[in-house]
Amino acid sequence: MKFIKTIVISATMIFSFAAFAHSGLVKSSPAKNEMLQGSPQVLALTFSSPVRLVKLTLKDGGGNDIKFGFKPKMQSSNQFSLDLPQLTPSSYSVSWMIMGEDAHKMKGQFNFMVHKAMAKATEHDHASHSHD
């Protein structure tokens, strides 16, 4: 009985790995947890295989939706690049949802941070805030 249980657990783990490897975000700009001096101009996402980007939202530290020109497209691609408006200093969270060619949906989320553009990067003081 114990032997059977072990097999079931192993099979579940293998299946999870397969689902994870299916298609996912491999690169972004700004990168996950990146700290920027000043507003980024674009939000760029690279996925491991062609997908449809069905949802993409950007929220500031106060939970406000930042409007930019994202519209879901019918064509699949593994790269997406969207112009951003001027972002004020805050922490931002990006949420995305993709649909693979087999209609498999996957979503994820990452954060980045915009600091005031400074003459000297060394003036940046981390005592006032934290990053996660």
Residue among 73 and 131 whose Cβ is closer to Cu ion:
131
Cβ of residue 88: shortest distance to Cu ion, in angstroms? 15
CB of 124 to Cu ion, least distance (A): 6
DSSP line for the chain:
-HHHHHHHHHHHHHHHHHHHHHS-EEEEESPTT-EEES--SEEEEEEEEEEEEEEEEEE-TT-PBPP------SS-EEEEEEE-PPPPSEEEEEEEEEE-TT--EEEEEEEEEEEPP-S-GGG--GGG----
Taking the least distance from each CB to Cu ion, the nearer of 24 and 89 is 89
Question: Contact residues for Cu ion (CB under 5 A)?
Answer: 35
In the complex, the smallest distance separating the C-beta of residue 33 from Cu ion, rounded to whole angstroms, is 10
Nearer residue to Cu ion within complex by CB, 73 or 116:
116
